[in-house]
Amino acid sequence: MNSELVEVLLVEDNSTDAELTIRELKKHHMANKLVHLKNGEEAIDFIFATGKYAGTRDVENSPKVILLDIQMPKVNGIEVLQKIKADQRTRGIPVVMLTSSKEDPDIQKCYDLGANSYIVKPVNFEGFAEAIKNLGFCLINPPPDL
């Protein structure tokens, strides 16, 4: 995992939600290089190569897309988003927020902070494709035509 390309970083505390999300992405061959972290603190350490990932990670080796759950204990998605967008090195990474309802009042806050889009859980592939479509980037393994 150390110097491997990470394509998708999934930050989700709920293991049921995580399992469903990964399963969905796997179904469409997008989970080859997927990393799942369970809280914001770890996510920050991972992205910025600090804390327990100091030395084993490289900041430049950033994920192609970050799926970030909003509601998490200790350090929540919004704080992680803030950190990501505040740092020059990581600002360009597309971030898709995961929320449980489209009326979540935090969604606006996320946009204000620079999130690229959001998906309402459960993540289905159409929603995911839609969310990343507008970001104009292609994965190293482009998704097979559906």
Residues in the site for another protein, rule: CB under 8 A? 14, 16-17, 19-20, 23, 71, 100-101, 103-105, 121-122
32: closest CA among 63, 77, 68? 63
- Nearer CB in complex with another protein: 122/143: 122
- Nearer CB in complex with another protein: 3/108: 108
Supply the minimum distance, in Å, between the C-beta of residue 13 and another protein: 10
Radius of gyration, alpha carbons of the chain: 14
Supply the minimum distance, in Å, between the C-beta of residue 105 and another protein: 7
SS3 64: coil
Which residue matches tokens 């809280």? Answer: 39
Report the distance separating Cα 67 and Cα 45, nearest Å.
16
Supply the minimum distance, in Å, between the C-beta of residue 18 and another protein: 11
- Nearer CB in complex with another protein: 4/19: 19
Supply the minimum distance, in Å, between the C-beta of residue 14 and another protein: 6
Direct distance between the N- and C-terminal alpha carbons of the chain, in angstroms, rounded to an integer:
29
